Amino acid sequence: MNTAASLEVRDLRVGYGSLEVLHGLSLNVQPGEIVSLIGANGAGKSTLLNAISGVVPVRGGHVLLDGKDIRALKAPDVARAGLRQVPEGRRVFADLTVEDNLLLGGYGTTTHHQRGERLEEIFDLFPRLKERRWQPGGTLSGGEQQMLAIGRALVASPRLLMLDEPSMGLAPLVTRDVFALIGRLRNELGIGILLVEQNARAALKMSDRTYVLTLGEIQQHGTSADLLRDPKVLAAFLGEETAPN
């Protein structure tokens, strides 16, 4: 596993055509920390991850990985620098086996020997994937596909991991298992995790800090424990007017 890295986003501006989506956004993630980003649909959460990953062009500001500005890098070079994104919707290759899906995560960033070694480490983390090693990815359940998507990112030994809506489309019990897994990754691998999640309550409960994104701007930021007791956050995202007992 590579050395964990910090992520700092400074005054990031991103847009599509004449429309600006992110308006001078700043946040940071430290090694061994889970930071969640919550906000309504259309707030710009996925755009932020895609901009950090080099998928969407950046108009202004900086993206620093361990102090090195990676804003101008293309997506493959961002991945080689050690920053990996698990996309919304999992996007596994339905016709490829579980093993081949995993191995694809390391192409271009690791050697064949390194991918083989990492594959066994991933199977240790995800015994269920090992049991289904030769099954097509499309035959897995939603929760298993989410494990596969996360495992695919881990094959490249990321220094920092970004997760986009990992609970999307999953049953509550499966969602609980996926969030437990994210906590294990932080505890066992020591990497920082930036979590974009529509399930605000789950995100707040499992993360160390949280940023609240509204229409492309950070409106609130603080420890997740404090925000979980904030009446404005409760009303906006949890449908409550007062903090739960």
Residue in this structure with the two tokens 């437990």, named with its chain if needed: 180
Residue in this structure with the two tokens 């964990």, named with its chain if needed: 4
The span from the CA of 96 to the CA of 135, in Å, is 8
What stretches of 96-199 show up as alpha helix (H) in DSSP? Answer: 98-104, 112-125, 127-131, 142-154, 172-189
The span from the CA of 102 to the CA of 144, in Å, is 13
Evaluate whether residue 2 is within a structural domain.
Answer: no
Evaluate whether residue 243 is within a structural domain.
Answer: no
Domain extent for 74: 7-238
The structure's pTM equals: 0.88
Evaluate whether residue 112 is within a structural domain.
Answer: yes
Residue 64 predicted with pLDDT over 90:
yes
Q: The domain that contains 231 carries what CATH number?
A: 3.40.50.300
**Average pLDDT across the chain, whole number:** 87
Give the model's pLDDT for residue 212: 94
Evaluate whether residue 169 is within a structural domain.
Answer: yes
Residue 106 predicted with pLDDT over 50:
yes
Query: How many structural domains is the chain composed of?
Result: 1
Evaluate whether residue 100 is within a structural domain.
Answer: yes
Give the model's pLDDT for residue 111: 63
Spell 174-191 as b/e; 16+ CB within 10 A means b: bbeebbebbeebbeebeb
